[in-house]
Amino acid sequence: MIIHRYLGLVMAGFLLVAGLTGSLLVWNDELEAAINPTLFRVPQPEASSIAPYRIDPLELRQLVASHYPEAVVAALPLSRQEGKPLVFFLFSPPDPVTGKEAELAVDQVFVNPYTGAILGARKWGDIGQGLANLMPFIYRLHFSLALGDIGATLFGIVALLWTIDCVVGAYLTFPASRAGTSIRHWATRWWPSWKLRWHGGAYKRYFDLHRAGGLWPWAMLLMLAWSSVAFNMHYVYEPVMRAVFAHQPDEESLPKLANPRLIGKLDWTAARERGRELMAQAAAREGFTVESEEMLVHDAEHGMYRYIVRSSWDLRDQGGQTAIRFDADSGALLGLWLPSGAAAGDTVTSWLTALHMAAVWGLPFRIFVTLLGLAVASLSITGVYVWWRKRQGRMKQGLPATQPTRTQPTQGKIR
């Protein structure tokens, strides 16, 4: 009881922010387009004037690179959707002497895929640039309270505590054990914990909202908590998961270059063709089909390219994570990573992250995750309210603020 109480108080503010911002981020693409229509909406040309996607993404990448010579365009978007721009991310090259990276004024560029016109640019997440960065700033709040690495670590700690508290909170709703009690009788005594008392006063209503509100979506709350650990504290998440499940070799197992190379011997055109060739071979060998190209990325630290597609083994409704890695100089295959079907641990992680991001099962699940985010926020509010009311009751009785008050046992282990 004490563990749940104080973990809840520590987490309340964080989870309030995470729940509210998460409910908005479910609709990130729609909100981005509504707030920034000039960046995220591209009028489709007449069929007689310009052929759709006539301009090769490689040409558009070169156009962006020439427009921003101070930056590196290390990723080539290959997925093209009608009426939407191609989005390029800019990176600052490290200083050859100090190794430090200069601050870029903008790091995200939007390009009309029909004409090659640059629609605009922004520094992702910088709310100082105005409403153009509202949704990225909300993402930063959701991920790290917009405090960078420190905030991400704090949120990771809260996610770990939340995972523990999910188990503790569920246990506290169990009815007290009695010798000789059947499972059916035990379940009958547990059932009141799942119900709401609407006519017992404000305190009982809030108490029941907190308890039942945590029980009904309990499995999904646990999923959100543990997947948040995966996002913010991978150095905790991965050892735990690897101790339980098998995983595919990842990029961490590959050696890094002593001196990162910004350009490989394979240029972008050759790299795309090599990626297509290796992916086709992998698909035939592993028994999956390639549905669409997604992205080609040059990794300077490992001296390799990463060719990413959407395949029949991808779980998310949109986009893809199936990736082939190959040497940026020789084109030699370095590895294949599949989001599902290859290793249980990677399949579980793919499902956890896809569920967390409401990236599966279409519109109904997106609505559900929106409501789930609001439920997380309400659990924080009702939890603090219950604690405050109990604290007021103890103070009125002249008891220490931390001493639990006596409650009736008929509802089980009531906090």
* pLDDT of 146 over the 90 cut: yes
* pLDDT of 272 over the 90 cut: yes
CB 304 within 8 A of CB 326: yes
Which pLDDT does position 201 carry in this prediction? 82
* pLDDT of 50 over the 60 cut: no
* pLDDT of 54 over the 60 cut: yes
* pLDDT of 360 over the 50 cut: yes
Which pLDDT does position 259 carry in this prediction? 85
Given pLDDT bands bounded at 50, 70 and 90, which one contains residue 405? very low
Percent of the chain with pLDDT over 90: 75
CA-based angle 384:388:394, to the nearest 5? 145
Given pLDDT bands bounded at 50, 70 and 90, which one contains residue 415? very low
* pLDDT of 220 over the 80 cut: yes
Which pLDDT does position 302 carry in this prediction? 94
Given pLDDT bands bounded at 50, 70 and 90, which one contains residue 410? very low
* pLDDT of 56 over the 80 cut: yes
Which pLDDT does position 5 carry in this prediction? 79
Phi, psi of 295 (to 5 degrees): -165, 150
* pLDDT of 141 over the 70 cut: yes
d(CA 55, CA 12): 50
Q: What is the mean pLDDT of the chain?
A: 91
Closest CA to 88 of 108, 118, 117, 62: 108
Q: CA 252: distance to chain centroid?
A: 20
Count Cβ atoms below 10 Å from residue 285 Cβ, excluding itself.
9
CB 95 within 8 A of CB 156: no
Which pLDDT does position 197 carry in this prediction? 86
Q: Give 353's Cβ-side CA count (13 Å radius).
A: 18
CB 68 within 8 A of CB 109: yes
Per-residue burial over 313-352, b = 16 or more CB atoms within 10 Å of its CB, e = otherwise: bbbbeeebbbbbbbbbeebeebbbbbbbbbbebbbbbbbb
* pLDDT of 411 over the 50 cut: no
